[in-house]
Chains A and B, each alone.
Chain A
């Protein structure tokens, strides 16, 4: 357990310092843009932004994509097994996502409190009543994005360049096929049922109420699937 703790600490500590650089740049950019637009328009009344969490989504996506590149090499050089590397990487995803979700939940609610015109990602969808669920939902969304990019990079690394291009083309084809199915094959009733199912999975019930637990369970399920897939791939990953 001591060795597992050390590798988790390595992953978390070496990634954590970049969070503050990210937030510093994000809020500096928002302030600067607000200032420029406000000055050029002569008024700050119409200046505003929403869902700053989307920037974090991009950041954690990059984190997920880079999860393999340097750390895998470094940790395999230090004799760790792929199981340990996977656990450490996922722990880092959770740690970074949890920390950033905390900052974003606080920032989103504070900004909304002082400026009703600002809408956070979670607040815009589910409202501002439950801060804990707000954090949990954001945390899971961030972990899901990390996991999605992580498995993507693992598959690309495993498959190689040529096969990855074919896989990418196949994935694009599947997306087009699904769109075609929805537009030309499925009946209006079927489409409505499918959309209703996904809406329910994200907590939007047919009677107009919101179930806060469903999106949590859905996200957990998706993360579990992506995590299992990542583990299955990393178990067979060789150093290139």
Chain B
């Protein structure tokens, strides 16, 4: 099976369960948004996929091969991480040289081209780069690597709006030219909303939902109006959260949208991905 399969993965840190029997699949050829609040377990799972930490229970399979201590998956998965793991005394261009030796699928020429697009000075050492340019360096490597599964953990950390746009643009072009699985873990949900096809939402170490973004946005909507009217409309529906201001109320609903009856005094509107995320994770016990 061409996929990253997460099978019953549990990871504990002393008395904290970071991941609790998590199972789902990142299929090949899709762009995923891997979303969750701080401490939800996103980075823990990414680190397990990248063989940086181990599971306490369960396993991760990449194209049916274990991700744990297995050089056969070396050319299959690459994880651009939020943490700075690169040797900081080495120049950017020398990093490119070494990564070119480490990976068969690294396109060094492309890495220099991407670096130039971003204005990344390849003669500088990693430690001399600003936080934003360190992120650019890391995502340059990830985009120049032609592996089937690329994971971006907070890829645009410290990037200005222009660089973020450029990154999304390059990523989409890359995906169009060479279909593969791209997993983006980020807090900037609205920025990636138009990019991702499927969303995996994780909260408190458990998967809350895995859904196609289009379907998810079709089934999520908000109902606004006077509180009693909203309550009447929402009766029996799957309400994932409320906002209230004075006598006005907005309810956020997941499920088949039924038209508001005439004179019901409520308005139905589409819900964006960020609001959906906020309400779903609030419901999880905020």
Give A residues with C-beta under 8 Å from B: 3, 6-7, 9-10, 14, 70-71, 73-74, 76-84, 235-236, 238-239
The listed residue (A7, A70, A78, A83) touching B69 by CB distance below 8 A is A83
B85 at the interface (CB under 8 A from A): yes
B70 interface contact, C-beta 8 A: yes
Contact residues of A: prevailing secondary structure: helix
Is there contact, CB below 8 Å, between B101 and A6? yes
Given contacts A3-B74, A238-B52, A239-B53, contact A77 B81 (CB under 8 A): yes
Complex Cα gap A82–B71 (Å): 10
Check if B47 is an interface residue, CB within 8 A of chain A.
yes
In the complex, are the beta carbons of A79 and B69 less than 8 A apart? Answer: no
Q: Are A81 and B70 in contact (CB under 8 A)?
A: yes
**Chain B nearest CB, measured from A78 CB (Å):** 5
Measured in the bound complex, the distance between the Cα atoms of B77 and A76 in whole Å is 12
Docked CA distance A65–B268 (Å): 63
Most chain B CB atoms below 10 A, which of A79, A81, A83: A79
Q: A10-B101, A10-B102, A83-B69 are in contact. List 10 more A-B contacts (CB 8 A).
A: A3-B71, A6-B102, A9-B101, A73-B86, A73-B87, A76-B50, A77-B85, A79-B74, A79-B102, A79-B103
Q: Which residues 71-106 of B sit at the A interface, judged by CB distance below 8 A?
A: 71, 73-74, 77-79, 81, 85-88, 90, 98-99, 101-103
Known contacts A76-B85, A77-B85, A77-B86; is-contact A82 B69 (Cβ 8 Å) = yes
* Nearest Cβ on chain B to A88's Cβ, whole angstroms: 11
Which A residues lie within 8 Å of B86 (CB)? Answer: 73-74, 77
Q: Which residues of B are found within 8 Å of A71, using beta-carbon distances?
A: 87
**Pairs across A and B, CB under 8 Å, 25 listed:** A3-B71, A3-B74, A6-B102, A9-B101, A70-B87, A71-B87, A73-B85, A73-B86, A74-B87, A76-B50, A77-B81, A78-B99, A78-B103, A79-B50, A79-B51, A79-B77, A79-B102, A79-B103, A80-B102, A81-B51, A82-B69, A83-B69, A236-B54, A238-B52, A238-B54
Task: Give Cα A174 to B250, complex, Å.
Answer: 69
Known A-B contacts A6-B101, A238-B53; A84 and B71 likewise in contact (beta carbons under 8 Å): yes
Q: Which residues of B contact A (CB under 8 A)?
A: 47, 50-54, 69-71, 73-74, 77-79, 81, 85-88, 90, 98-99, 101-103
Considering the complex, give the chain B residue whose CB is closest to the CB of A4: B71
- The CA of A223 and the CA of B45, in the complex, are separated in Å by 36
CB distance from A77 to the nearest CB of B (A): 4
Closest B residue to A74 using CB positions:
B87
A239 to B83, CA, bound (A): 11
Q: Which chain A positions have C-beta within 8 A of B70?
A: 81
Residue of A nearest to B94 (CB): A14
Most buried by A among B50, B69, B87, B90: B87
CA distance A33 to B101 in the complex (A): 44
Q: How far is the CB of B107 from chain A (nearest CB, A)?
A: 16
Q: Chain A residues with Cβ under 8 A from B98's Cβ?
A: 6, 10, 78
Q: Given A9-B101, A84-B71, A239-B53, are A79 and B78 also a contact pair (CB < 8 Å)?
A: yes
Q: List the B side residues contacting A79 at CB < 8 Å.
A: 50-51, 73-74, 77-78, 102-103
